[in-house]
Structure 1
Amino acid sequence: MINKKSSILSLVITFVVMGIMGMQLFDLKFNNDLDAFFPLDDPDLIYYKSYTEKFGHDNDYILVAFENQAGIFQQDFLLRQDSVAEQLEDIEGVEQIISLVNLKKLVKGPMGYLEIPYLHLDDPAQLEKDSLKIIKEPHVWSQFIAEDYSSTKLIIMHRKFENKKLADGFVSEIHRVLSQYQFDKVRLAGRPIGERAYVWAVQQDFTFFLIFSGITILIMLIIFIRKPSMVAAALLISLLSVALTLSFMTLVGKEIDILSTLIPSILLVVSMSDIIHLFSHAKEEYNAGTPMQTAVNRAVGKVGFATLLTSLTTAVGFITLISIRVQPIIDLGIYSAIGILFAFVLTYALFPQLMYLIHPNLGRKKSNKLIKKILDTLYHWVLRKQKLIIWSFIIGFLVVLYGISRLEINAYLIDDLPKNDPVRADFKYFDSEYGGTKPFTMTIWMADSSDIYNPRAIAMIDSIETLAHEMLNANNLVSPATLVKSIHQMQHSGLASAYQLPGNDRDWDQALRTIKKGKVEQRFFKVTDGYLAQISGFSRDQGSKDATERTEKLRTVLNQWLNEDSPLRYRITGSQLLIEKSHATLSMNLMKGLFGAVIIVSIIAGYMFRSWRMILITLIPNLFPIMAIAAVMGLFGIPINLGTSIIFAISFGIVVDDTIHFLSKMREERIAGRTMIYAIKRTLFATGEPIIITTIILTSGFAIFCFSQFAATFHTGLFVSVSFIVALIADLTLLPVLILYFLPRKVLRRK
C-alpha cells in the first residue's frame, strides 16, 4: 500500500543504496582482451594453453611496413629502417626485431661459420647486387618485401602483456620511435594494434550511446508523457538503473568491452517499458475519476505482476546468451539480465512513490487521437479480415523460410573495426601484400616421442608445409624443415639454390648434427620444445567460413596420409582456430539458447491461462519477428557471427513483453466475465496505446545503435528495431485473431 510514509521511506532507502553503489563508478575500466572471445571449456583451448607454455602466444607480434616510392633498395631508406630497428629493440617488452635490414645468414667457410648480412647498408654499389640475390630467395622476399615491391616489413616480437595499460604503453612507445623518422607511409598491424583501435572506438561508442540514448528517451517521454515532473522521474529511474548496473559490474570486477557498451543503452530503453505501462494504467484510473493514491495503487496491482513477468522474460532472453560459450557474450547476457531486474525494482521502488508525492496534474485528457484511430482500424480488421491477416502471415512465413535458407555463419578478423579506421586499411594491406596477419599454428610430434630431427620426419613436415600453403593459404612458414633447409644452404656457401632439404645421407647427417650440437634454434628461431615441434606462419583473412572449410579439408587429407601407421602426429591449434571454432558452433548454441527461452515463455503463458493452446498462441507472434530477422540477414547476405548472434536473444527477450501485457489484460477481462469479442476490444484499446508507445521508444532507442562505428553494433540496432516493428504488427493483428480461433470460449475463473 502506497502512502506518504512508505513513499518517503522507499525513496530514502533507494538513494542511500544508490549513493553507496555509485562510488564504484570511479573505478570503471575498459577491456581490450580479444582472447576473451575464445570458446570456454573447449579441448582446443586447453591444448592451446599448454602450447603457449612451450612456445608462447602465437599472436604476440606487431608487423610494420615501410613504404618508399623511390624504391625499397635505396640506401637512405634502409638506413632509416636500421635506426628504427635499433631503437625498437630498446623498448621494454620487445623480445626480438626481425627485419630485412638486420637479417643475416650463416655461411660455412674455411675459418668456420660466418654471419653475412643480406643487405650491405654501408655500400650502395653492393646493395644492387644484394637485391638481385634476395629476389632469388623466395623464402626471404616473400616474408619481408611486398608483392608490389613498394615496401619492406619489420616484425616486432614482444612478450605477453597482462593488461590494457601495458599494451597501450608499448604501442605508444612504438609510435614515438616511428614518429622520429620520415617515411612515405608506415603501416602497422597485429593484436596490440587491433585491440587499441577497438578500445578507442568502444570508448567513443560508449559515450555516444549513453548521451544520445538519453536524449532520445527524453524526447519520447516528452511526446508521450508530457508532464515535466513525470518525464524527469522516468528519466531518473532509467539513469539510476544504468548507474546501478555499471556499479555492480565494477564491484564484481567486470570491465567494459565491445559488447558491454550496449548495456547502458539497452537498459535506458527497456526500463521505459515498465514505466510507460505503469503510468498508462495509473493515468487511465485517474481519468476515470479515481483519486491519485488509489489510482497509483490500482495501477501497481493491475500491471505489477505482468510487468514482473515481462522483466523475467526479457531477462531470460538475455540469459540465453550463456549458451554461446564466449565470455563477453555471456557477460552481456548476465549483466543485461541483472540490469533489467534492477530496472524493475527501481521502477516500483520509485515511480509510484514519486507519482503519489508529486501528484502531477494529469488532467482528464483522452487518449492520443492518432493511436486511437489506428487501434480502431486494427480492431475492425481483426473482426472482419481474419483470413486476410492469417494468409498474409503465411505468405510472409514462406518468404522468411526462403531467407533463412540463405543464412550463413561467417566473420572476418577486422569486421568490427570502423570502416574509415586507418588500422583496418593497414590490416588489409598486409593481407594483400605480405600473405596475411592472422597467425597460423600447427604442432607436430613423433608417435613414439622420439627426436623430430630425422630425415623421414623432416621430409614429411616439408610436405605438410606445402599442403598448408596450398590448402589454407598459409604463408611465411617456419618449422624444423625450414631450419634444416637454412642449415643446408649455409653449408653450401649460402647459395640460393641450396635452400632445400639435403639430397644425400652425408648432407642430412651434417645438417642434423649441426642443429643438434650447434644450438641453432637459439640463434635463429625456436621450433621445438622437447619432442614437440611447431609449424607457424601467417595467413590471409578470408572469413571464418572459408577458413573452417579449408581446415577441415586439410584435416581430411592429413588424416588419410598420417594414419595410425605413420610415425608422425599433428594437431592444428592457435588463437585463430579458437575464434573460428566459436563462430562455427554459433548456430547450434543459438538454437539451444532460444529453445530454452521458448520453453520458459511457454510455461509462463500456460500458467497465465491454464491452457496448452496459449503456448501456441503466444509463441507464433513472437517467433515470427526472430525468424524475420534471420530471413532479412540471409536475403541481404549478412552473416551470423559472434557480433550479430546477440540480436536474436535481445529481440526475443523484449518482443515477448507486449504479448504478455496483452494476454494479462485479456485474462483480466475474461475473468470479469466479458465475452471474447468484447474482451479483445477492451484489451486492444487498453494495452494498445502503451504497447505502441513502448515500441516507438524501444525502436528509437535501439536505432541509435545504427550510428555505431562497429558493424555488429549497427546490425544489432537495425535488426532489433525491425523485430520490434514486426512484433508490434503481430501482437495487434495476428495475436487477437489466434485468440479468436484457438482460445476456449469459456469464462476464466479467478484462482
Structure 2
Amino acid sequence: MINKKSSILSIVITSIVVLLMGSQLVHLKFNNDLDAFFPLDDPDLIYYKDFTDKFGYDNDYILIALKNDQGIFQADFLQRADSLISDLEDIVGVKKVISLVNLSKVIKTPMGFIEVPYLHLDNTDELLKDSIKVYKEPHVRDQFISEDSQSTKIILSHRKFENKKLSDALVSQVYEVMDNYQFDKVHMAGRPIGERAYVWAVQEDFSFFLIFSGATILIMLIIFIRRPSMVAASLLISLLSVVMTLSFMTLVGKEIDILSTLIPSILLVVSMSDIIHLFAHAQEAYAQGATLPDAINQTVKKVGFATFLTSVTTAVGFITLISIRVQPIIDLGMYSAVGIVFAFLLTYLLFPQMMFLIKPRFKRKRQNKLLKSFLQVLYHLVMTKQKTILITFGVAFLLVLVGISKLQINAYLIEDLPKNDPVKEDFMYFDSQYGGTKPFTMSVWTPDSAEIYSKEVITLIDSIETLAHETLNANNLVSPVTIVKSIYQMQNGGFAKNYKLPETDTEWKKVFRAIKKGQIEQRFFKVTENNLAQISGFSKDFGSRDATLRSKKFSEKLDQSLDKSVLDYRITGSSQLIEKSHETLSMNLMKGLFGAVIIVSIIAGYMFKSWRMILITLIPNLFPIMAIAAVMGFFGIPINLGTSIIFAISFGIVVDDTIHFLSKMREERLSGRSMVYAIKRTIFATGEPIIVTTIILTSGFAIFCFSQFAATFNTGLFVSVSFIVALIADLTLLPVLILYFLPRRNLGR
C-alpha cells in the first residue's frame, strides 16, 4: 500500500543507492579491442592463440603508402622516405620497418656474400637501372609498389599491445613523425589505425545518442503527458536507469565498445513503456471516479504484473543475444537485460511514489479525440472486416517469405566506418593498389616431426601458395618457399630470373645447407618452428560470404591433390575467425530467437490457460521480425554481427504491447464480460498507451539513423519499422485471431 510515509522512505533509500552506484561513472572507459569479436570457446580460436605464441599475431602492423606524383624513383622522394623510416624505427613498440628503400638482397660473389640494396639512394644514375630490376622481380614489386606505380609501401610491425592506451600512443607517435615530412599523399591502414578510428566514432555516437535520445523523449513526454512535474519525474527515472546500468558495467569492469554505446539510448526509450502505461492507467482510474491515492494503488495492483511480464520478455529478447558467441554482442544482451531490470525497479520504486507526493492534476475527460477516433476506426475494422484483415496479412506473409529467401549473411571488416571517412578510404586504397590489408594466415605441418626444409615439402607448399593466390585472393605471401627461393637467387648471382625453386638435387641440398648454417630465419623473418610452418600475406576484403565460398572451394581442391601423409594444413588467423563468426551467425541467431519465442509462449499460455493462446500470441509478434528480414532481403542488406542485434531488440520490445493487450483482455474476461465487449474495452483502454509508447519508442530508435556506423543506422531504421508493424498487428490482427480461435468460455478466477 502506497502512502506518504512509504513513498518518502522508498524515494530516500533508492536515491542513496543510485548516488552510491553513480559515483562509479568517473571510472567509465572506452574499449577498442576488435579481437573481442572472435567467436568464444571455438576450437579455431584456441588453435589461433597457440599459433600466435609461436609466430606472433597476424595483425600487429601498420601499412603506410607514400605517394609521389613525379614517380617513386626520384632521389629526393626516396631520401625523405629513408629518413622517415629511421624516425619510425625509433618509436617505442616498433619491432621492424620494411620498405623498398631499406630492402637488400644477399648475393654470392667470388669475394663471398655481399649485401646489395635494391635502391641506390645516393646515385641518381643508378636509380633508373634499379627501377628496371625491381619491376623484373614480381615478389618485390607487388609487395612494395602500387599497381599505378604512384606510391611505395612501408610495413611497420609492432609488438602486441595490452591495452588501448599503448596502441593509441603508437598511432599518435606515427602521426607525429608523419607530420614532419611532406609527401604528395599518405595512406595508412592496419589494426591500430582502424581501432582508433572506431573508438573516436564510438565516443561521438555515445554522446550524441545520450543527448538526443533524452531530448526526443522529453519532447514526446511533453506532448503526451503534459504535466511538467510528471514529465520531469519520467525523464529522471529513465536517466537514473541509464546511470545505474553504466555504473553496474563499470563495477564489473565492462568498458564501452561499439555495441554497448546503444545501451543508454535503448534504456531511455524502453523505460518509458512502463511509465506511460502506469500513468495512463492511473488517469483512467481517476477518470472513473477514484481518488488519486486509490487510483495509484489500483494501477500498481492491476498493471504491475503486466509490466513485470513485459520487462521479463524484453530482457529475454536481449538475453537471446548470448546465443551469438561473440563477446560484445553477449555483453550488449546481458547489460541491456540488467538495465531493463533496473528500469522496472526504479519505475515502481519512484514513479507511483512521486505521483502520490506531487499529486498531479488529472483531468476527468482525458482521452485524446484524435486517438479516440482512430481507435473507433480500428475497432470497427476488427468487428466488420475480419476476413479482409486475415487475407491482407496472409498476402503480406507471402511477400515476407519472398524477401526472406533473398536474405544473405555477409560482412566487411571496415563497413561500419562512415562512407567518406579518410581511414576507410585508406583501407580501400590498399585493397585496390596493394593486394589488400586483410591478413591472410595459414599453417602447414609435416606428420611425425618430419623436416619442413625438404624438396618434397617445399614443393607442396609452393603449390599451396599458387592455389591460395588463385582461389583465396591471397597476395604477397611469405613462407618457407620465400626463404628457399631467396637463397637460391642469392647463390646464383641475385638475378631476378633465379628467384625460383632449385632444379637439381644438388642445388636443393646446397640451399638447405645455407638455410641451416646461416640461421636465415633468425636474420630475416621466422616462418617455421620444428615441423610447423606458416604462410602469411594479405588479401582484399570482398566480404565474409565471398571469403567463406572461396575457403570452401580452396579446401575442396587442396584435399583432392594434397598428400596429407607428407603435409597437412589449416587456415587460421584473425580474419578467418571473424568470417567464422558470420558463418555460424544464422544458426545461433535462430536458436536464440527460438528460445525467446518459447518463453513468451509459456507466458501467454499461462495467462489464458490455453494452448491456442500460444499461437495467437506468436503470429503478431513474429510477423514484425520476419518483415524486417524481408525488407533487408529486398534491399540487399545482409545479416552480420552488426545487424544481428536488430532481431533480438525488436522481438524483446514488440512483445510488450501484446502482453499489455492480453493482460487487459484477461482482466475484462475475468470480470465476466463477453469476448466481443472485452475486446472493445481492451482496444479503447490499452490502445492509447500502446500507440503513445510506440511513437516514443520509434522516435527514440530513429535517432540511431543519424549514427556514423552502418550497423547502428540499420538498427535504428529496422527496429523502428518493426515497432510500427507490431502496432498494426497488435491492434488489428491480434484481436481478430482472438475472436476466431480463442474459446469463448468464461474465465474462472
- What is the TM-score of this pair, normalised by structure 1? 0.99
- Residues 488 and 502, structure 1, Cα contact 8 Å, conserved in 2: yes
State the alpha-carbon separation in 1 of the partners of residues 231 and 515 from structure 2: 77
What are the equivalent positions in structure 2 for 1:122-133 lying under 5 Å apart?
A: 122-133=122-133
Please name the residue that 1:639 is paired with. Answer: 638
Q: Deviations over 1:310-364 (max 9, x none)?
A: 0000000000000000000000000000000100000000000000000011222
What are the equivalent positions in structure 2 for 1:220-619 lying under 5 Å apart?
A: 220-564=220-564, 566-619=565-618
In the TM superposition, residue 365 of structure 1 has moved relative to its aligned partner by: 3.0
Letter in 1 for 2:12: V
- The secondary structure found in structure 2 opposite 1:503 is coil
Please name the residue that 1:182 is paired with. Answer: 182
Q: Deviations over 1:133-169 (max 9, x none)?
A: 0000000010000000010000000000000000000
Residue 720 (structure 1) aligned with residue 719 (structure 2)? yes
In the TM superposition, residue 507 of structure 1 has moved relative to its aligned partner by: 1.2
- Residues 283 and 366, structure 2, Cα contact 8 Å, conserved in 1: no
State the alpha-carbon separation in 2 of the partners of residues 529 and 6 from structure 1: 71
Q: Deviations over 1:192-243 (max 9, x none)?
A: 0000000000000000000000000000000000000000000000000000
State the alpha-carbon separation in 2 of the partners of residues 201 and 148 from structure 1: 32
Q: Deviations over 1:485-517 (max 9, x none)?
A: 000000011000000000111211111110011
State the alpha-carbon separation in 2 of the partners of residues 194 and 255 from structure 1: 18
Letter in 2 for 1:659: T
- Residues 448 and 567, structure 1, Cα contact 8 Å, conserved in 2: no
- The secondary structure found in structure 2 opposite 1:448 is helix
Letter in 2 for 1:607: Y
State the alpha-carbon separation in 2 of the partners of residues 188 and 749 from structure 1: 71
State the alpha-carbon separation in 1 of the partners of residues 505 and 401 from structure 2: 64
Q: Deviations over 1:576-627 (max 9, x none)?
A: 0000000000110011000000000000000000000000000000000000
State the alpha-carbon separation in 2 of the partners of residues 26 and 216 from structure 1: 26
Please name the residue that 1:660 is paired with. Answer: 659
- Residues 39 and 325, structure 2, Cα contact 8 Å, conserved in 1: yes
Please name the residue that 2:710 is paired with. Answer: 711
Letter in 2 for 1:661: H
In the TM superposition, residue 366 of structure 1 has moved relative to its aligned partner by: 2.6
Q: Deviations over 1:639-673 (max 9, x none)?
A: 00000000000000000000000000000000000
Letter in 1 for 2:558: L
- The secondary structure found in structure 2 opposite 1:197 is helix
Residue 2 (structure 1) aligned with residue 2 (structure 2)? yes
Q: Deviations over 1:432-463 (max 9, x none)?
A: 00000000001111112111000010000000
RMSD in angstroms over aligned alpha carbons?
0.6
State the alpha-carbon separation in 2 of the partners of residues 196 and 303 from structure 1: 47
Letter in 1 for 2:278: L
Taking every aligned residue pair, what percent have the same amino acid on both sides? Answer: 74
State the alpha-carbon separation in 1 of the partners of residues 268 and 452 from structure 2: 60
- The secondary structure found in structure 1 opposite 2:121 is coil
Letter in 2 for 1:168: D
Aligned length: 749
Please name the residue that 1:680 is paired with. Answer: 679
State the alpha-carbon separation in 2 of the partners of residues 602 and 355 from structure 1: 34
Letter in 1 for 2:690: I
- The secondary structure found in structure 1 opposite 2:210 is helix
- The secondary structure found in structure 2 opposite 1:542 is coil
State the alpha-carbon separation in 1 of the partners of residues 730 and 417 from structure 2: 37
What are the equivalent positions in structure 2 for 1:721-736 lying under 5 Å apart?
A: 721-736=720-735
Residue 119 (structure 1) aligned with residue 123 (structure 2)? no
Please name the residue that 2:691 is paired with. Answer: 692
State the alpha-carbon separation in 1 of the partners of residues 356 and 289 from structure 2: 16
In the TM superposition, residue 563 of structure 1 has moved relative to its aligned partner by: 4.3
State the alpha-carbon separation in 2 of the partners of residues 128 and 369 from structure 1: 84
State the alpha-carbon separation in 2 of the partners of residues 166 and 228 from structure 1: 48
What are the equivalent positions in structure 2 for 1:41-190 lying under 5 Å apart?
A: 41-190=41-190
- Residues 245 and 342, structure 1, Cα contact 8 Å, conserved in 2: yes
State the alpha-carbon separation in 2 of the partners of residues 436 and 420 from structure 1: 19
- Structure 1 segments unaligned to the other structure (5+ residues): none
Q: Deviations over 1:30-64 (max 9, x none)?
A: 00000000000000000000000000100000000
Please name the residue that 1:737 is paired with. Answer: 736
Please name the residue that 1:201 is paired with. Answer: 201
- The secondary structure found in structure 1 opposite 2:97 is strand
Q: Deviations over 1:532-581 (max 9, x none)?
A: 100000000000000001001111111122244x3101111000000000
State the alpha-carbon separation in 1 of the partners of residues 522 and 129 from structure 2: 30
- The secondary structure found in structure 2 opposite 1:140 is helix
Letter in 2 for 1:636: F
In the TM superposition, residue 482 of structure 1 has moved relative to its aligned partner by: 1.1
Letter in 2 for 1:621: P
- Structure 2 segments unaligned to the other structure (5+ residues): none
State the alpha-carbon separation in 2 of the partners of residues 149 and 340 from structure 1: 56
In the TM superposition, residue 525 of structure 1 has moved relative to its aligned partner by: 1.1
State the alpha-carbon separation in 2 of the partners of residues 141 and 12 from structure 1: 72
Q: Deviations over 1:450-479 (max 9, x none)?
A: 110000100000000000000011000000
- What is the TM-score of this pair, normalised by structure 2? 1.00
Letter in 2 for 1:339: G
Please name the residue that 2:23 is paired with. Answer: 23
Residue 32 (structure 1) aligned with residue 32 (structure 2)? yes
